């Protein structure tokens, strides 16, 4: 009986930012601004439905220590989709998370902060929304379904959460994606969902770079 077997890593994936220039305006509230980015995902020779896990619509920044080559660092460290900002000298701008410390005198405030996630409004302002357990799982797992060879979508780089201190000027923006089953994923439910899914893209890819203007 003849059997045809397709290897998992045969998928070629191209992530392309279709904007020529991206401009963001820093908010008067420094931790509230985001960048809208139009992208296209191209899967040549797609044979069946494929899933990208941790492919978030609201994209966090990848951290980079600068102690080793970047391509080696992100492949061994990053999980899911992250955005990267470089200056004109190709130096990666380090992201800083703006922490809001809960008041332990008020448990409800603490729970609200822990159970909230970042979203972006039509005015490109970041807002935190309180989610229930199932909504948090779906948000964190961020499972994106691929059914066609080309997908167009919009991503939002959460500058206000990670680069709120980025000086005004010209930069370059791009995205990095990494998924490996052996990575220690956060949360038991996420790990179980990933383990049960056999149509997962495993590997990494990097988008093109586009000019970013911070006003």
- Summarised one tens digit per residue, pLDDT across range 96-132 is 765 555 555 666 777 788 889 999 999 889 999 999 9
Model confidence at 7, pLDDT cuts 50, 70, 90, reads: very low
**How many separate domains does the chain show?**
1
Q: What pLDDT sits at residue 6?
A: 36
Domain membership flag for residue 2: no
- Domain assignment of residue 112, given as a range: 8-214
Domain membership flag for residue 3: no
User: Measured between alpha carbons, how far is 16 from 20 in angstroms, rounded to an integer?
Assistant: 11
Q: Are 100 and 132 in contact (CB under 8 A)?
A: no
Can you give the pTM of this predicted structure? 0.84
Domain membership flag for residue 129: yes
Domain membership flag for residue 1: no
């Amino acid at each position: 009986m003849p059997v045809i077997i397709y290897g998992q890593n045969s998928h070629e994936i191209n992530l392309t930012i279709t904007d020529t220039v991206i401009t963001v305006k820093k908010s008067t509230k420094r931790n509230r601004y985001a960048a809208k980015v139009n992208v296209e995902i191209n899967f040549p020779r797609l044979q069946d439905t494929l899933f990208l896990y941790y492919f978030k619509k609201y994209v966090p920044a990848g951290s980079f220590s600068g102690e080793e080559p970047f391509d080696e660092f992100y492949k061994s460290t990053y999980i899911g989709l992250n955005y990267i900002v470089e200056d004109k000298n190709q130096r990666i701008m380090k992201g800083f998370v703006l922490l809001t410390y809960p008041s332990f005198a008020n448990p409800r405030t603490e729970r609200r902060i822990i159970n909230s996630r970042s979203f972006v409004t039509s005015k490109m302002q970041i807002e935190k929304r309180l989610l229930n357990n199932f909504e948090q799982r779906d948000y964190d797992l961020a499972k994106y379904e691929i059914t066609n060879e080309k997908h167009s979508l919009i991503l939002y780089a959460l500058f206000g959460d990670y680069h709120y201190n980025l000086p005004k000027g010209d930069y370059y923006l791009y995205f990095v994606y990494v998924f490996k089953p052996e990575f220690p994923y956060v949360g038991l439910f996420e790990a179980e969902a990933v383990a049960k899914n056999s149509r997962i893209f495993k590997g990494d890819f990097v988008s093109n770079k586009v000019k970013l203007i911070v006003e």
